[in-house]
Amino acid sequence: MKKIDFRNLHRDLGYFYIGLIVSFAFSGLLMNHREMWHPDKYTTETKAIEVKLPEKSQINDDFAKDLGKKLGIDDKMRRQMVKKDEFKISYENHDVEIDMRTGKGEIVSFIKTPIISQTMKLHKNTSNFWIYYSDIFALSLIIIALTGTIMIKAGKFSWKNRGWKLAVAGVVFPLLFLILFG
């Protein structure tokens, strides 16, 4: 039986997954800031509206769909909600926000940002194929990390002299963050 060459395994897995690693890292950066801006879409038009809304208890999916038709939105509705005196409807390519007290609001029309929106779907995809592929990817990242620890056998940059300290710091930092801010 041939001995496993961890350096080659580390290299080959790194080459094979480089696209996915960069895509996940890139879309992860964008997802971290999705509350500040919408990286996966950009606004093409904003239109002011004023409507008469019923009581909060009468607002439901059917009401939201009918209102969308009246507002000229021919788009698939994803969800609707009332939050902090604001009625929000999310469609595939539109967002509607209306103040519950005044009935004033706006319709925002947008389109998907090429490449960025597809990359961000990697984080949101729930198909069985993608889940299994992502599991294999996660295991491969573990292998890449572990084989990386044994690539330099001796010297001041080896696992024994320096690597373990950086690894401990890399584990402690997120734990401290979770304890202090979680």
Sheet order of strands, 86-91 included: 41-50, 104-112, 94-99, 86-91, 77-83
Instruction: Show Cβ contacts of residue 109 under 8 Å, excluding neighbours closer than 6 positions.
Output: 43, 44, 45, 46, 47, 93, 94
Instruction: Say what the pTM is.
Output: 0.60
| Residue 77: strand pairing partners | 91
Beta strand ranges found along the chain (DSSP E): 41-50, 77-83, 86-91, 94-99, 104-112
- Tens of pLDDT, residue by residue, the chain (182 residues): 566 788 899 999 999 999 888 888 888 888 888 777 777 777 788 999 999 999 998 999 999 999 999 999 998 999 999 998 999 999 989 999 999 999 999 999 988 888 888 877 877 778 899 889 989 999 999 999 999 888 888 888 888 888 999 999 999 998 999 999 87
Give the pLDDT score at 6: 87
Q: 57-61: which pairs have CB atoms within 8 A and are 24 or more residues apart? A: 59/87
pLDDT of residue 110: 87
Neighbours of 10 (CB within 10 A): 19
pLDDT value of residue 3: 65
Query: Which residue from 118, 154, 151, 158 is spatially nearest to 24, judged by alpha carbons?
Result: 118
Q: What is the pLDDT of residue 50?
A: 96
Would you state the structure tokens that stand for residue 119, as one six-digit string?
């990359």
